[in-house]
Amino acid sequence: MSRFGDLLSGNATPAPSPEPVVEEPIVVAESPIVEEDSTNYQDEIEEEFVETFPYESDLSIHDMSKSELEEYGRTVGIELDRRHSRKRLVRELEEYLTDS
């Protein structure tokens, strides 16, 4: 009979006790202590710097989205309002660029 049937009939044999778990101690290697950081982080930052906009000759403000127009306007020195239409933003930016 199966174990379940043995339990129902009352002929249950006790389950074998599990083997005791013996934990072995973990050896932790100590890391070397560095007294002074000699890394020049400024050089790394300058190497990772990438311009957000290409040269102006490669720009086509007519193909930019409203958020891109706003970002580009900030780099040139004008604050554009994204609540206006894209056509109006392009017109304002062109007027600003021709005046300056």
Residue with tokens 């934990």: 23
| Structure confidence by residue, pLDDT tens digits, 58-81 | 568 889 999 999 999 999 999 999
Tell me the pLDDT band of 51, cut-offs 50, 70 and 90: low
pLDDT value, residue 88: 94
pLDDT of 15 > 80? The answer is no
Q: How far is CA 55 from CA 42, 45, 49, 51, in A?
A: 25, 22, 16, 9
Q: What percentage of the chain reaches a pLDDT higher than 90?
A: 31
What token pair was written down for 73?
A: 């306007």
1-21 mean pLDDT? 76
Question: pLDDT band at 84, cuts 50/70/90?
Answer: very high
Domains of the chain by residue range: 54-100
SS3 category, 19: coil
Name the average pLDDT for the chain.
79
